[in-house]
Amino acid sequence: MLSEALTAAAAAGGTAVVRSAGTDAWPGLRQRVARWFGRGDEARERAELERLDRTARALEAAAASGQSERIRDRQEAVWQDRFETLLEGLPAEQRDAAADELRALVKEHAAPPEPAGQTPASVFRGPTACHTTCRTTNSG
């Protein structure tokens, strides 16, 4: 199981992939993420480039079909899981360095956050506090 810091790095990576797809930041992030996953293996790097391209196409198609939030959430979770899996598979002495590299590439290449209220990351998906207005408007 990964530490909280490593899980946070993986989550940031997943968010960066999804937010950057289709933006000016995408080419740089795409290349660096593929290189990070490839870890010196060119064939693996090419496979990751193809996987990243499929993600970008899925996000583009979702936006056109009106399902972007659901697909964005799914893709973000998929990429977070991929980052976590790679980190878990590394020898313990390499994990922190790989996480630092991931944090650096996210910071350097990720698309800037969208203004508040315009990004799926700002959508609250948990329970909310409900006061007397909820009982009066939702009682039935």
**Structural domain count of the chain:** 1
Provide the residue-wise pLDDT of the chain in tens; the chain has 140 residues: 789 999 999 999 999 999 999 999 999 999 999 999 999 999 999 999 999 999 999 999 999 888 899 999 999 999 999 999 999 999 999 999 999 999 999 999 887 776 554 444 433 333 333 333 333 344 44
CB neighbour burial string for 83-92, b if at least 16 within 10 angstroms, e if fewer: bbebbeeeee
Cβ pair 49, 27 in contact under 8 A: no
Residue whose entry in the numeric block shows the structure tokens 């968010």: 15
Tell me how far CA of residue 67 lies from CA of 70, 73, 82, 107, 116, in angstroms. Answer: 6, 10, 23, 28, 20
Residue 128 within a domain: no
Residue 129 within a domain: no
Residue 139 within a domain: no
Please name the residues in contact with 90: beta carbons below 8 A apart, sequence gap of 6 or more: 98
Residue 131 within a domain: no
Question: By C-alpha distance, which of 29, 10, 9 is closest to 19?
Answer: 29
Residue 78 within a domain: yes
**What is the span of the domain harbouring residue 104?**
4-123
Amino acid at 18: V
